[in-house]
Amino acid sequence: MSAIFFDMDGTLVDSEPLWLQAEVEIMAQVGCVWTAQDQIDCLGGPRAKTEKMMQDKCGNSKPDGYFGEQLDKLMVKKLESDLELIPNALELLNECRNSGLKIGLVTASGSQLMNSVLKRLPRELFDVVVSGDDVKNSKPAPDPYLLAAEKIGVEINHCLVIEDSITGVTSGLSSGAQVIGIPHLVNLPIHENLRVVRSLSDLSLSKILDWYPFLKNATV
């Protein structure tokens, strides 16, 4: 058995501009500046990483957890009203689903934000979903992808991960999976188990199966 695991933010949904808007707005409320580079420094990471950076930039003027809670509240609103899918996301997911491949959604975002996105990406598309709340150690640790493989009942070395950030790619590679990286704002590392493409629109099921023949055994 094989599986394909998709990252969420920046890979399937164009949420990174919304994250930047939310981060800028929240920091402005406490008289601090948040830049595009600050977002890049936190890209793909768990909420705790962004929380710590915001606390550092404002001199720890707010209680622990304040920025994370504010981000979640604002992002739920933005995801429900302004979220756009990455071009080819739904088409590729449906192509994989119709072929019989097992599919997982693996994100560093918390379950509340993941569930907001799943209103646009139907939950039934995925055999398993894993949020940052489901693991003790989120990306870049391998835990999220190892948990997804365990839930489906497949060996991680029979899995393909599709990611857009250094944090996510590191998580996928360290888990033992093959990884396709779609660079978003950053350059991805060179690794024998990493194939880099320009965009999700460059991918199709036939191309993926040509690159990763072990997935063919799972298709119908």
What's the confidence (pLDDT) of residue 87? 96
Q: Tell me the pLDDT of the chain averaged across its residues.
A: 92
pTM for this predicted structure: 0.89
pLDDT tens digits for 69-88? 898 899 889 988 899 999 99
Query: What is the rounded CA–CA span in Å between residue 50 and residue 46?
Result: 7
For residue 146, give every residue at least 6 positions away whose Cβ sits within 8 Å of its Cβ, in sequence order, or none. 156, 175
pLDDT band of 218, cuts 50, 70, 90: low
pLDDT tens digits for 106-151? 999 999 999 999 988 888 999 999 999 999 999 999 999 999 999 9
Averaged over 168-174, what is the pLDDT? 97
Q: Is 81 exposed, middle or buried (0-12, 13-18, 19+ CB in 10 A)?
A: exposed
Q: Which two tokens stand for residue 145?
A: 């992808």
Helix (H) or strand (E) segment spanning residue 86: none
Q: Judge whether residue 178 has pLDDT over 70.
A: yes
**Angle in degrees, 0-180, between the axes of helices 16-29 and 66-82, rounded to the nearest 10:** 140
Query: What is the rounded CA–CA span in Å between residue 83 and residue 64?
Result: 28
Q: Judge whether residue 47 has pLDDT over 80.
A: no
Q: Judge whether residue 177 has pLDDT over 90.
A: yes
What's the confidence (pLDDT) of residue 220? 59
> CA-based Rg of the chain, rounded to a whole angstrom?
17
Greatest C-alpha distance within the chain: 57
